[in-house]
Amino acid sequence: MAEASAPQVPTRHAEVKNQDIQGSDDITERVNNRSLRPDSPAFREFMKQGWAEESSDTQPMESSKFTPARIEALGAKFPGERLVIPAGVAKVRNNDCDYPYRPDTTFAYYTGLGQDFEAGAVLVLEPNDSADSGATHTPVLYLHPRADHTTRDYYRSAAYGEYWVGPRPGLDEFATMTGFETRDISLLPDALSKDVGSGKGGLRVRVVKEADPEITQMVETVREQNGFDDPASNNTDDDLLHEVAATARMIKDSYEVGEMRKAIAATHDGFDSILSALPSAVDNEHGERVLEGAFNSIARQEGNDVGYGTIVASGPHAPTLHWMRNTGVVRQKDMLLIDAGVEVNSLYTADITRTFPVSGHFSALQRRLYEAVYRAQQAGFAAAQPGRTYSDIHHACMRSLAESLHEWGILPVPVEESLKPEGQQHRRWHACGVAHHLGIDVHDCAEARYESYQDAKLTPGMLFTIEPGLYFRENDLLIPPEYRGIGIRIEDDVLMTENGPEWLSKPLIPSAPDEVEQWMADRAASAAAK
């Protein structure tokens, strides 16, 4: 078969066409009218002059010691195939403004790159001709070269020009950081097309298709032109790559565990900041957002950002599982549920929930409900042993909650009847799961199959949450009035070890009721002393 022409590298960001300071009447270019960027010959010549070289002290990233083993394990699943893992590009927030850039999770895992200077990059795992090399694949990282002061893009490209976005590593620096071979992104189309074919001697290409639609289309074009012309079959191939990559993240290496400990420590500081800000939030029209801001500022100071939208849910908002509007008033009599996590620069995130009595002391009812959730979490932890499953954690938590609900006279049937699959009445007050994998994504490894996730044996290196709760909605007529409008969740991050589960977050972030009250008192005293 004749070699097909390579597809073109897609244009990622519209840039101003060659013009002086005149605007454009073309509606596709009109968004750039506001910039009025100069481009006269005199200006272009002047911009070439008088720039000092910027210093660079690039060092190998700590993650580069761990990515080769990750790549080797992935490549072993797909010998002889080309694997394409895009970083993705910035997503439009509105008009010509983007959301802060975050690389795709699979790309971040296999490269170790977590910051915002590699938008549009693509990792290609090239199959080796022979196993004699000691590895099934060689990683090659395709990137946009630096648009520094030696290039016209320096001041013309709002996407990559360093006049706009600041200094970023070049190809040599990225090679040092990652340990990978690096190439100009313009070479990617030819690289993707090389030797592809469904016949003898040809190779198959798979892509993490969700990461970058334009790269996915480029790969699909290559496949169609070289005998892989069944889109459904190609889609199945790509899904398997994504699934295998996600399942691989279930077992954390020592680097990942260290990053998670950093994220949890920063999250502790964020909760401290919330408690310090609590007096100013009480009865404030924007009280929930006052507390959200207190946490989020720590996330930006000590990490990259929050790992997910911070939940600050006071009083009747707390039974809403994903309350992220944070528009409520915080009142002295309320229970306050906060679900938050700091994402560190490597993109690993903590995921912690604490529920506080705003007054600083649990009422008798609040304590009774809180202790029931605390017991359920302890039951889930006891069930989390090597060789058990996620389902065992869930069932242990559910049994404990059902027993409490029955004891209070709320559960309309006996505990055992409710726990049967055909019953489940207790789930009215806890309709979600109680555990999930945690890592680069807050709900990590989500593309794994059920049998690899909920039904898989708990294995040393797994890192997950345990987060039971009780959610009594304000309009729930089947519970006593005093329960309505109370939501309680206690969530901690757990590492499975050879000797059983280890609480990663509890030693730093109190959760026992007496400890919570003492923590609140200490923070109030510290704030008053300032």
CA-CA distance, 324 to 4, in Å (whole number)?
50
Asked if 494 and 466 touch (Cβ cutoff 8 Å), the reply is yes
Q: What is the pLDDT of residue 521?
A: 97
Nearest CA to 436 among 399, 467, 400, 471? 467
Architecture category of domain 30-47+56-248 in CATH:
3-Layer(aba) Sandwich (3.40)
| Each residue's pLDDT expressed in tens, for the chain with a length of 530 residues | 433 444 445 444 434 333 344 445 565 555 556 667 788 999 999 998 999 988 778 999 999 999 999 999 999 999 999 999 999 999 999 988 899 999 999 999 999 999 887 899 999 999 997 655 678 999 999 999 999 999 999 998 888 899 998 899 999 999 999 999 999 999 999 999 999 998 787 899 999 999 999 999 999 999 999 999 999 999 999 999 999 999 999 999 999 999 999 999 999 999 999 999 999 999 999 999 999 999 999 999 999 999 999 999 999 999 999 999 999 999 999 999 999 999 999 999 999 999 999 999 999 999 999 999 999 999 999 999 999 999 999 999 999 999 999 999 999 999 999 999 999 999 999 999 999 999 999 999 999 999 999 889 999 999 999 999 999 999 999 999 999 999 999 999 999 999 999 999 999 999 999 999 999 999 999 888 87
Q: What is the pLDDT of residue 527?
A: 81
Nearest CA to 468 among 394, 392, 382? 394
CA-CA distance, 349 to 344, in Å (whole number)?
6
CA-CA distance, 446 to 250, in Å (whole number)?
10
Q: What is the pLDDT of residue 198?
A: 81
Asked if 23 and 30 touch (Cβ cutoff 8 Å), the reply is yes
CA-CA distance, 512 to 404, in Å (whole number)?
17
Q: What is the pLDDT of residue 29?
A: 58
Q: Tell me the domain boundaries of the chain.
A: 30-47+56-248, 254-529
Q: What is the pLDDT of residue 384?
A: 97
Nearest CA to 61 among 184, 144, 169? 169
Angle at 510 between CA 508 and CA 516, to 5 degrees: 150
CA-CA distance, 175 to 44, in Å (whole number)?
31
Strands (E), 185-330: 205-207, 305-306, 311-314
CA-CA distance, 524 to 98, in Å (whole number)?
39
Asked if 513 and 370 touch (Cβ cutoff 8 Å), the reply is yes
Here the tokens at position 265 are: 């420590």
Topology of domain 254-529, CATH: Creatine Amidinohydrolase (3.90.230)
Centroid of chain to Cα 226: 35
CA-CA distance, 122 to 181, in Å (whole number)?
12
